[in-house]
């Protein structure tokens, strides 16, 4: 992935933070998901007073894409932090990593960024080794 696309995804994810609904934690997260067809799907975190029904930015973006029939992705970028300023690197939580495993290959790039000049690049395999995914549920047809 070229540097220009990485910067575009970081800027898009950072801009999505303004839509975050985070009245409890104050931790605002934005995500930008690049589909194989070139479309960028966005997401933000949405909290709930009961916590369990809360939704992460990454899953929001993935579910938006899947709900529109898109299942193939090239990369995702996540930018997060307390209130208005990104603080540190917001690495996807375990649930988001598991959802990514459903749709993405182990080499799927995950960009976590503070801003366009400060980011780290991981693969899904880096963040979720030995994952349980669709291949685990396929029946062996070779007998």
pLDDT per position as a tens digit, 91-110: 999 999 999 999 999 999 99
Q: Which residue has the higher pLDDT, 139 or 13?
A: 13
Kindly report each contact of residues 83-90 with a partner whose C-beta sits within 8 Å and lies 24 or more positions away, as own/partner.
83/26, 83/28, 84/28, 86/14, 86/17, 86/113, 86/114, 86/115, 87/114, 88/114, 89/113, 89/114, 89/119, 89/120, 90/29
Q: Do residues 136 and 113 make contact, with C-beta atoms less than 8 angstroms apart?
A: no
Cα separation, 54 vs 96, whole angstroms: 12
Identify the CA nearest to 22 among candidates 63, 55, 60, 58: 55
Catalytic residue among 3, 47, 58, 120: 58
Over the stretch 113-137, which tens digit does the pLDDT of each residue have? Answer: 999 999 999 999 999 999 998 888 8
For the segment 51-77, the average pLDDT, to the nearest whole number, is 96
Over the stretch 18-53, which tens digit does the pLDDT of each residue have? Answer: 999 999 999 999 999 999 999 999 999 999 999 889
Cα separation, 37 vs 79, whole angstroms: 23
For the segment 68-80, the average pLDDT, to the nearest whole number, is 97
Q: Do residues 117 and 83 make contact, with C-beta atoms less than 8 angstroms apart?
A: no
Give pTM, 2 decimals: 0.91
Region of residue 83 (left: phi > 0; alpha: psi -120 to 50; beta: else): left
Report pLDDT for 119: 96
Which two three-digit tokens encode residue 28?
């605002």
58 is catalytic: yes
| Confidence label for 140 from pLDDT (cuts 50, 70 and 90) | low
Q: Over the chain, what is the mean pLDDT?
A: 94
């Amino acid at each position: 992935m070229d540097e220009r696309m990485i910067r575009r995804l970081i800027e898009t994810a950072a801009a999505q933070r303004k839509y975050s609904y985070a009245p409890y934690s104050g931790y605002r997260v934005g995500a930008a998901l690049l589909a194989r067809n070139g479309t960028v799907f966005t997401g933000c975190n949405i909290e709930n007073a009961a916590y369990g029904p809360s939704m992460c930015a990454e899953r929001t973006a993935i579910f938006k894409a899947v709900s529109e029939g898109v299942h193939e992705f090239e990369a995702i970028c996540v930018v997060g932090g307390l209130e208005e300023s990104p603080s540190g690197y917001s690495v996807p939580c375990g649930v988001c990593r598991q959802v990514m495993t459903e749709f993405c290959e182990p080499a799927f790039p995950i960009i976590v960024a503070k801003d366009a000049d400060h980011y780290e690049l991981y693969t899904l395999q880096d963040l979720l080794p030995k994952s349980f995914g669709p291949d685990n549920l396929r029946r062996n047809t070779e007998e």
